[in-house]
Chains A and B, each alone.
Chain A
Amino acid sequence: MSIIIDGTDADHIQVRNVLVENNSSTLGDHSIVVGNRGEVLNCEVDGGDYGIAAIDSAGESRVGSIMIQGNRVRNARTSVYSEKEDTTVSDNDLFMEGSSEYSVFIDGGDRAVVADNRIYNINGDDAIYLKDVTVFTVVGNIDGYDPGFG
């Protein structure tokens, strides 16, 4: 079964308590996508190019405040991705192994908080990747922790 939550063009979408199972990891095939002012809370995601992403919305790629919190993501190519101006990624369990990329990738923006995530990133790229972010805090993350996905 493959489910994609596509809220790319939504101005404010909240995705809560959703289970996405067995999604493919084909390029562009993301599991949960939010647009401006999106929130992804307490979801469980299996697979995806991006497991959870906050990406371009109607040509306003940097607009938006994003909260990605309390989710469990496994086996996506990149677990969490955001290109928005204000991103918080906290308290997530992010499990990846094999030919994976980043567990958290924040591409630009004015503010980013990456806090208290438990990350298991084997044979992938950097567990946390911040690129061209103006003000950021990366606090209390554990890389190498197996969150115990069965």
Chain B
Amino acid sequence: MLIDGCTQGVISGNTVNDEILITNEADDILITGNRAETIRVADAVGQYSGAVLATIIANKAVQIVVDNSTRVHILDNEATWLSAVAGSDWCVIKGNILPYASGIPIWVEDSDDVQVLDNDVWGYGFGSSDAVVGVAGTSARTRIERNRYHGKSPGQAGTAHNHGVQIAATASAPIIGWNDWNRHLAAGPEIENLGSASIEWTDVQEVDFVHYPDAEVAESPIRKYFATDVEIISVFIVANDGPVGADLIANLHKDGSGTGIFTTAPNKPTVADGSNEGSTTVPDVTSVAAGSYLKVKFEQIGSTTPGGAVTVLLRYRRIF
């Protein structure tokens, strides 16, 4: 089925052997309840813009492709491959079921501000870099939240996917929240960041370790327990009464260990001599398992006057 340059249409309840193709500046199209090999909203001719404002909802197809088309919503479909590519900005891929996915089944390439939300995926990867969601090309600000990966479908060969998200070296600023896929991934890590894209985490939680008296070279008595596995995002330290004569340096110790999670000296949370605000750093050890706890230990407190009323702010996110 070819819908070429049309506007304000409904495509519903059709059974199509091959493809439903919406192209050439098609505008305001609803595609729902169809069965097709492929549903494609695209710039197929190569000289016009693709579609805008299309909604693809509750269809069954092998693949659903948005190509050079903006503001397309792919909602509540069943498919094995979903993609937004080549300038498909502001698209939403939400609530879909992918029961027999393989390779990288949700693919965002060269498209900005695409949201990948609440999808359920069963399937297997072919290779060590296969992820549930791929962010490729120059895609920016891809938001990935609340997706679930259930491992292989019953009877499927191969191995489970290795990663939740693969971020290409050329992609930037992905926004990633809580996704339930770690427990079924074959290898990991959860995020395969092939470059140095700075990830904005949306499910970050915070806890303050507050130490009111003057700091002592000792462990703080306060324990922070974690009910789930977590990843430490950053640690920030501040002293209302700044140390004098030397820096105030802290560390975080896990489960009473004698070694802190900061093993590299320059990374340790530090309030410089004569200052109040300290540094924000990422620890060398970022993972803390469910049931473990952290305590602050002051390794150095100042010489002439110790730092006092110290707060260590821990930012972390849950991992399931």
* Given A126-B19, A126-B21, A128-B1, 11 more pairs with CB closer than 8 A: A127-B16, A128-B14, A129-B4, A130-B2, A130-B3, A130-B4, A130-B9, A135-B8, A138-B3, A140-B12, A143-B14
Shortest distance between the CB of B284 and any CB in chain A (Å): 59
A127 to B7: give the CA distance in the assembly, Å.
Answer: 19
Chain B contacts to A: CB under 8 angstroms: 1-17, 19, 21
Q: A106-150 interface mask toward B, CB cutoff 8 Å, 1 = contact, 0 = none?
A: 000000000000000100011111111111111111111100000
Which 9 A/B pairs are nearest by Cβ-Cβ distance?
A136-B9, A126-B2, A144-B17, A133-B6, A132-B5, A140-B13, A128-B1, A131-B4, A135-B8
A45 to B6: give the CA distance in the assembly, Å.
Answer: 29
Q: Chain A CB within 10 Å — which of B1, B7, B12, B13 has the most? A: B1
Contact assessment for A143 and B1 in the assembled complex, using a CB-CB cutoff below 8 Å? yes
Pairs across A and B, CB under 8 Å, 30 listed: A126-B1, A126-B19, A127-B16, A128-B14, A129-B1, A130-B6, A130-B9, A132-B4, A132-B5, A132-B6, A133-B7, A134-B6, A135-B7, A135-B8, A135-B9, A136-B9, A137-B9, A138-B3, A139-B11, A139-B12, A139-B14, A140-B13, A141-B15, A142-B14, A143-B15, A143-B16, A143-B17, A144-B16, A144-B17, A145-B15
Contact assessment for B14 and A138 in the assembled complex, using a CB-CB cutoff below 8 Å? yes
Interface of A (DSSP majority class):
strand
Interface of B (DSSP majority class):
strand
**A135: chain B residues within 8 A (beta carbon):** 7-9
**A144: chain B residues within 8 A (beta carbon):** 15-17
- A133 to B, closest residue via Cβ: B6
**A128: chain B residues within 8 A (beta carbon):** 1-2, 14
Chain A contacts to B: CB under 8 angstroms: 121, 125-145
**A129: chain B residues within 8 A (beta carbon):** 1-2, 4
Contact assessment for B1 and A138 in the assembled complex, using a CB-CB cutoff below 8 Å? yes
The one of A132, A136, A141 in contact with B14, judged by C-beta atoms closer than 8 angstroms, is A141
Shortest distance between the CB of B42 and any CB in chain A (Å): 14
Contact assessment for A138 and B10 in the assembled complex, using a CB-CB cutoff below 8 Å? yes
Number of residue pairs spanning A and B whose beta carbons lie under 8 angstroms apart? 73
**A138: chain B residues within 8 A (beta carbon):** 1, 3, 9-12, 14
**B19: chain A residues within 8 A (beta carbon):** 126
Contact assessment for A131 and B5 in the assembled complex, using a CB-CB cutoff below 8 Å? yes
A135 to B11: give the CA distance in the assembly, Å.
Answer: 11
Shortest distance between the CB of B222 and any CB in chain A (Å): 65
Contact assessment for A134 and B7 in the assembled complex, using a CB-CB cutoff below 8 Å? yes
A127 to B13: give the CA distance in the assembly, Å.
Answer: 15
Shortest distance between the CB of B142 and any CB in chain A (Å): 32
A130 to B26: give the CA distance in the assembly, Å.
Answer: 11
The one of B8, B12, B15 in contact with A142, judged by C-beta atoms closer than 8 angstroms, is B15
A32 to B2: give the CA distance in the assembly, Å.
Answer: 24
Contact assessment for A139 and B5 in the assembled complex, using a CB-CB cutoff below 8 Å? no
- A122 to B, closest residue via Cβ: B17
Contact assessment for B13 and A137 in the assembled complex, using a CB-CB cutoff below 8 Å? no
Shortest distance between the CB of A119 and any CB in chain B (Å): 9
Shortest distance between the CB of A114 and any CB in chain B (Å): 9
Shortest distance between the CB of A110 and any CB in chain B (Å): 10
A127 to B14: give the CA distance in the assembly, Å.
Answer: 11
The one of B10, B17, B21 in contact with A137, judged by C-beta atoms closer than 8 angstroms, is B10
A129 to B6: give the CA distance in the assembly, Å.
Answer: 11
- B25 to A, closest residue via Cβ: A132
Shortest distance between the CB of B61 and any CB in chain A (Å): 14
A79 to B4: give the CA distance in the assembly, Å.
Answer: 19
**B6: chain A residues within 8 A (beta carbon):** 130-134, 136
**B14: chain A residues within 8 A (beta carbon):** 128, 138-143
Q: Chain A CB within 10 Å — which of B5, B7, B8, B17 has the most? A: B17
A133 to B3: give the CA distance in the assembly, Å.
Answer: 9
**B12: chain A residues within 8 A (beta carbon):** 137-140
- B19 to A, closest residue via Cβ: A126
- A128 to B, closest residue via Cβ: B1
- A140 to B, closest residue via Cβ: B13
A129 to B7: give the CA distance in the assembly, Å.
Answer: 14
- A131 to B, closest residue via Cβ: B4
Shortest distance between the CB of A138 and any CB in chain B (Å): 5
- A135 to B, closest residue via Cβ: B8
